[in-house]
Copies of this chain bind each other. A is one copy, B any other.
Amino acid sequence: MDNKEISQAVIGRLPRYFRYLGELKDEGIERISSQELSDIMKVTASQIRQDFNNFGGFGQQGYGYKVEYLYEEIGRILGLEKTHDLIIIGAGNLGQALANYMNFERRGFLFRGIFDQNPELYGKKIRNMEVRPMEEMESFVKQNEIDIAVLTIPKAGAVKVAERLVDNGIKGIWNFAHVDLNVPKEIQVENVHLSDSLMKLAYNINRYESESIQTPGSSL
């Protein structure tokens, strides 16, 4: 299986499939057709089949998919059987909110430490983990073989901090800073630009309103 062929759009949909299949599994549902899955997830059945075909299809169409098998396969593709050591840079509200997402642990993301440059936060316990000074970040990453860093710091410092993390062996950065990082291509970056998604929401609200005015009662 050559994952290089698989588009980021497909990859981006896998976690959602994983989430839904986990819920179906918890509900004790054993088999589901692409049509049933389509109805629940509100994506077309053909999209689901196309997405799954990237990974060999996951079993016969006619029979429908075995939920538990599909759940485990997608989890395996996502690499959730592996664990990742994760630190959070920035112990503000966002950093603390992320540290407290308990279910990250269930997905194999081990919260190993949290860092901040504000001395008032040093030693503060966040999820049984004391906030460490930024100065300790590099040695900590190296000594503990941390592979994922979560950036929840202002854009001003983010680019430099990212470089320091990369120099010390970080493999992936989950970036909440409002700036696009410039790191070597072998470093994986997943940007979460929260204000971008809020602007998209505003656009869709405005679009809907202007269309309702132009063509009253029109359905989108």
- Report chain B residues within 8 Å CB of A188: 201, 204-205, 208
- Report chain B residues within 8 Å CB of A78: 199, 202-203, 206
Binary contact track A183-197/B, C-beta < 8 Å → 1, others 0: 001101110111111
Check A195 against B93 for contact (C-beta < 8 Å): no
Check B186 against A190 for contact (C-beta < 8 Å): no
Taken together, the copies of this chain in the complex come to 2
Check B174 against A107 for contact (C-beta < 8 Å): no
Which of A13-21, A28-36, A44-52, A64-72 lies at the binding interface? A13-21
- From B97, B103, B206, B210, A92 is in contact (CB under 8 Å) with B97
Distance of A42 Cα from B181 Cα, bound (Å): 11
Interface residues of A in 73-120 (CB under 8 A from B): 77-80, 82, 84, 92-94, 96-98, 100-101, 103-104, 107-109
- From B186, B199, B206, B208, A15 is in contact (CB under 8 Å) with B199
Range of interface residues on chain A? Answer: 35 or more
Check B193 against A19 for contact (C-beta < 8 Å): yes
A143 close to chain B: CB less than 8 A = no
Distance of A171 Cα from B206 Cα, bound (Å): 10
A146 close to chain B: CB less than 8 A = no
- Report chain B residues within 8 Å CB of A206: 78-79, 82
Check A185 against B12 for contact (C-beta < 8 Å): no
Q: Interface of chain A, helix or strand or loop or mixed?
A: helix
Check B194 against A79 for contact (C-beta < 8 Å): no
**Given known A4-B211, A79-B203, contact A190–B185 (CB-CB < 8 A):** no
- Report chain B residues within 8 Å CB of A82: 202, 206
**Given known A19-B178, A220-B4, contact A201–B93 (CB-CB < 8 A):** no
Interface residues of A in 127-181 (CB under 8 A from B): 147-148, 171-174, 178, 180
A60 close to chain B: CB less than 8 A = no
- From B108, B199, B207, A202 is in contact (CB under 8 Å) with B108
Distance of A78 Cα from B196 Cα, bound (Å): 10
